[in-house]
Amino acid sequence: MAGSATSPAIALTIAGSDSSGGAGIQADLKTFTALGVYGASAITAITAQNTQGVQDVLVLPQSIIAAQMASVASDLRVGAIKTGMLADRATVETVVGGLGAFPNVPVVVDPVMIATSGDVLLQPDAIEAVRSRLIPLADVVTPNIKEAARLLDTAPATSLDEMEAQGRALLALGPKAVLVKGGHAEGEDATDILVFGAGSLRFSKPRIATRNTHGTGCTLAAAIAAGLAKEHTLSAAVRDAKDYVWGAIEAARNLEIGSGQGPVNHLYVI
């Protein structure tokens, strides 16, 4: 006798492809799988990329980006959406328009601007579109301290209090919550600060000495989306995502993949 049908939680990632597999669409789908969520995707750009850097970028036609989103919306019951690399202003506008087909679905916006290698992944003229058009639609925005500063046209935060203040300033742009990530800060602990209307929460883990951190931002945002797809509260989704990423970094300490900044071990929990 066949077993009864099940309906797994589904998350959609809207992001660029990383040919080396450590970030972007590939990292997101690995994360969804590791956390027990079915992953769908809409690819915005194709990068020629490895652990040493980004060699080339091809932004896909806006028509196919829109068509991917519409196709998923017409058939799958998406429980959460994560946006990543959007490359340029036209893509931001296309994604904003496509999100209209997913009413009441939580949106995690990772405002990807620069790769771990330092390569630019978001054109300067697109930053204003992210700020004014995409961020107001987000349930949570997940900038690192450099991205938060760029969105606010100010200097990067140098303390936890400054990180929280910048999160509060970003909250004024219209999202429901902001998670300012402290992975690029100094100190023994890496602390992320979740800012929302009623207050804030801090999530800390001991900093791990390793060069294998490629894709951590993508992975964290995808893990949050996975939690939201499973109908967890935002605070629980952030807490669990922080734990998952820390574990993925720890599990990658002895990995030798490529000759640059290697990826985290997304599948360590399987």
What amino acid positions are annotated as catalytic residues? 181, 213, 215-218
Token pair listed for 64: 């196919």
Residues paired with 57 in a beta bridge: 47
Residue 201 DSSP class: E
Other Cβ atoms less than 10 A from the Cβ of 56: the count is: 9
Question: Look-up: residue for tokens 């300012």?
Answer: 180
- Both tokens assigned to 240: 């669990």
* 8, 47, 180 from 94: Cα distances, Å: 28, 19, 26
Helix, strand or coil for residue 120? strand
> In which order are the strands placed within the sheet that holds 80-83?
53-59, 38-50, 10-18, 80-83, 107-109, 140-141, 177-180, 189-196, 199-206
187: left (phi over 0), alpha (psi -120 to 50) or beta: left
